[in-house]
Amino acid sequence: MSDAVCEACNIKPAKLPFDGRLMCIGCWGSNNTLRNERLLNMGRTISANYVSETCFGCGSRNVDAGDREFWCNDCLMRVRVI
Ligand SMILES: [Zn+2]
Ligand SMILES: [Zn+2]
């Protein structure tokens, strides 16, 4: 991975692509939540991608992401990001 900075907050390291922009884990998670709410409002089905700065499996903050994957370094949960 490059050491690009998140295009949404310009602070944290970019980890995952979202609509053509590279975002950090936190921004990706909040933008995905917004996108899901929009899709739900239109009566569409959503793809649940559990990406956040704390692991959904064990609550650890020792998480990372890259390419098309999000993972936790403590419980080893992996999530494929669409
Ligand atoms: Zn960000
Ligand atoms: Zn975990």
pLDDT digits (tens, 9 = 90+) for 39-54: 999 999 988 788 999 9
Q: Is residue 20 part of a domain?
A: yes
Q: What is the pLDDT of residue 2?
A: 58
Q: Give the model's confidence band at 25: pLDDT under 50 very low, under 70 low, under 90 confident, else very high.
A: very high
Structural domains of the chain, count: 1
Query: Can you tell me whether residue 71 is helix, strand or coil?
Result: strand
pLDDT tens digits, one per residue of 60-75: 999 999 989 999 999 9
Which ligand is nearest the CA of 57, by number? 2
pTM assigned to the model: 0.86
Contact criterion met (CB below 8 Å) for 62 and 73: yes
Which ligand is nearest the CA of 11, by number? 1
Contact criterion met (CB below 8 Å) for 55 and 63: yes
Which ligand is nearest the CA of 60, by number? 2
Question: How far is Cα 66 from Cα 39, in angstroms, rounded to an integer?
Answer: 25
For ligand 2, an ion, list residues with CB under 5 A.
55, 57-58, 60, 72, 74-75
Q: What is the pLDDT of residue 45?
A: 92
Token readout for 29 is 């998670």
Q: Is residue 54 part of a domain?
A: yes
Which ligand is nearest the CA of 5, by number? 1
- Above 60 in pLDDT, residue 1? no
Q: Is residue 6 part of a domain?
A: no
- Where in the chain does DSSP place strands (E)? 16-18, 21-23, 63-66, 69-72, 78-80
Domain that holds residue 42: 16-80
Q: Is residue 27 part of a domain?
A: yes
CA of 52 relative to ligand 2 center, distance in Å: 11
